[in-house]
Amino acid sequence: MIEPKKLLRNPLTYILVASPLLLYALTLLQPVHDDWSYFTTPYYDFGDKFTTRLMPFFSYWRPFDGLFGYVLSLAPGLFPALNHASVYTAHLISTVIVYKLCGTFGFNTFARNVATVFFFISPAMLGTVLGIDSLNQAYSQTWGLLGTLAYLEIKGRTRVPAWLACTLVATLCKENGVTFFAIPQVLAYASGKATLRQVAKDTLWAVLTVAAYYAARKALYNDNVYINDEYFENTLSRKLKNLGVFVGMTWIPLDYVSLWHAASRNLATVAITAALSMPFILYLFFSRPRNLRSRLLIGLAVAMLVAASPHLLTLFTAMHPYASLGMAALVVAFLADNVKNKQTLTILFAMFIASTAYVDWHHWQKSYESSMTGKRMGQEAIKELEKPADKLSVIYIDRGEQKYSSFCAIPYDAFGWGWAIYKETGYEWPRKISNVAITEAETQKIDSIADSELKNEGSQRVLLVYGDTVKAIR
């Protein structure tokens, strides 16, 4: 039986106690932007065959997302609350695994607690944990960390199969899970838990498993292929931006809403949150510079870069720092275990917690406001239409509004290009929505476009969206 004193000293106790309130806050967030158009929405069009959900689709092979969308199609009223509950559950499990991994490496209780809290509240988790379409990112991390724990902890013949099985599931959750076919060996060698020969042998099994995965993916290939060119923008500016997001959201925790979103910009808030959080990070890394030469720390840093590499090489957005957050937390654990003065670090960590708590809340608040804008626009459209319409056209006047990831969404994106209507009608109507975007300089074309949509597209009604207002004009 666990002693009450130990429970009170364990951060997982407080995380679990706070979870019902945190989960309730998450369920208040409604869909915006990509949330409307991904697999994990009710009635996503996979075609007539159920098995299509399980096959490679577009540039993805994410059967678990397809199955999740199927469940939502059976009970659409669960969307998006079930999404939020599932993502939060994954984050909670990953937090526990990070806590366990810290014990695996022999870090002291203080370091373990600091790393656990860091992983749970770091702003690097916001793009995933506040998301609705982010089950893939959350569970790829969970299964990858679980595979890492299996590789480092299990003894005997089941160790490698357990690791490979967990990592294969991570890869089927999201493609970046493939990095965990390499990460555990790096950590095992760096910590002295495995010899180079053993690592080479295990890596051979990993290579064979990855080869089998890609062979199966090729064999199941179909014509539903779409490549987002944004993921393959091979320019220096893109790579520098990717690196900036990776380093910034992981190691420079400040209020990015107040920095990047013009309508919310508040440089005083940026300065205060940076001033509160950065001393903790700086003290961790530089109170004992010799720590930076440690073999284990170098191994953890390499593992972190490996975890982030798929996104660094393609596209790195607010959701993607989560892929390497588990490794970043272990870096924090190592440094906290070897810090010069734990009392000083405790004070700085308290400041860090205060800052990140505000940053997390502010991002939640802006996400809530964005999602409520979409919901209100959907309800407003229904009132404007007065009666059901099976086919709608939406004319959107693009005002060049600025967004900040999914936290501060453009009203039209929050509206889901009209799909908020579908949700607000209980997924009864409309069945088809077409969209036409024009600039403010082209508003004289509105009447002719509306007439064309009725005549040529077979639409029954036409809506005009300007900012966050919706009007029925035909």
* pLDDT digit string, tens, across residues 208-248: 999 999 999 988 877 665 555 565 667 888 889 999 999 99
Rounded CA gap, 369 and 404, in Å? 13
359 pLDDT higher than 80: yes
Q: Give the tokens for residue 431.
A: 């069945």
Tally Cβ neighbours within 10 Å of residue 102: 26
Q: Which alpha helices (H) appear in 386-456, and where do they start and end?
A: 411-414, 419-424, 446-456
Best CA proximity match to 107, nearest among 251, 303, 296? 296
Query: What integer pLDDT is reported at residue 32 of this predicted model?
Result: 95
What value does the CA radius of gyration of the chain take, rounded to a whole number of Å? 24
For residue 456, the model assigns a pLDDT of: 81
Per-residue pLDDT at 469: 95
Q: pLDDT averaged over the chain?
A: 93
Q: CA 122, 192, 313, 328: dihedral to nearest 10 degrees?
A: 10
Residue for token pair 């490979």: 164
Q: Which pLDDT value is given to residue 417?
A: 93
C-alpha dihedral sign at 214, 218, 219, 221: positive
Report DSSP state, residue 415.
T
Q: Which helix (H) or strand (E) holds 365?
A: helix 342-385
Tokens found for residue 397: 């006047």
pTM over 0.75: yes
What's the mean pLDDT in 350-362?
Answer: 98
Residue 1: per-residue pLDDT: 55
**Model pLDDT, residue 49:** 86
113-122, 224-233, 274-283: the lowest-pLDDT one: 224-233
Q: Contact, 162 vs 350, CB < 8 A? A: no
Which 8-state DSSP code applies to residue 408? Answer: B
Q: Under a CB-based contact definition with an 8 Å cutoff, are residues 412 and 369 in contact?
A: no
Section 419-431 average pLDDT: 94
Nearest Cα neighbor of 46 from 65, 29, 23 is 65
pLDDT for res 5: 74
pLDDT band at 6 (very low <50, low <70, confident <90, very high): confident
**15-33 mean pLDDT:** 97
Helix %, strand %, coil % for the chain, to 5?
Answer: 70, 5, 25
% of the chain surpassing 70 pLDDT: 97
- Bridging pattern class, strands 391-398 and 432-439: parallel
β pairing state of 469-472 and 461-466:
antiparallel
Using the CB atoms, write b or e for 186-223: b if 16+ within 10 Å: bbbbbbebbeeeebeebeeebeebbeebeeeeeeeeee
Res 356: pLDDT: 97
- In the chain the first and final C-alpha atoms are separated, in Å, by 69
Q: What is the mean pLDDT of residues 114-124?
A: 98
What average pLDDT score do residues 117-146 get?
Answer: 97
Cα 357 off chain centre by: 18
Query: 3: exposed, middle or buried (C-beta count within 10 Å: 0-12, 13-18, 19+)?
Result: exposed
Using DSSP, state whether 145 is helix, strand or coil.
helix
Q: Band of the pLDDT at 269, cuts 50, 70, 90?
A: very high
Sequence-ordered alpha helix ranges (H) in 105-195:
109-121, 126-129, 135-153, 159-173, 183-190
**C-alpha span between 20 and 23 (Å, rounded):** 5
Asked if the model's pLDDT at residue 172 lies above 90, the reply is yes
β-pair partners for 392: 433, 461
**Residue 457: burial class (beta carbons within 10 Å; 0-12, 13-18, 19+):** middle
Residue 12 pLDDT: 96
Those residues whose C-beta lies under 8 Å from the C-beta of residue 391, and which sit 6 or more positions away, are 430, 431, 432, 433, 434, 457, 458, 459, 460
- SS3 category, 199: helix
Q: Is 105 within 8 Å of 296 (Cβ atoms)?
A: yes
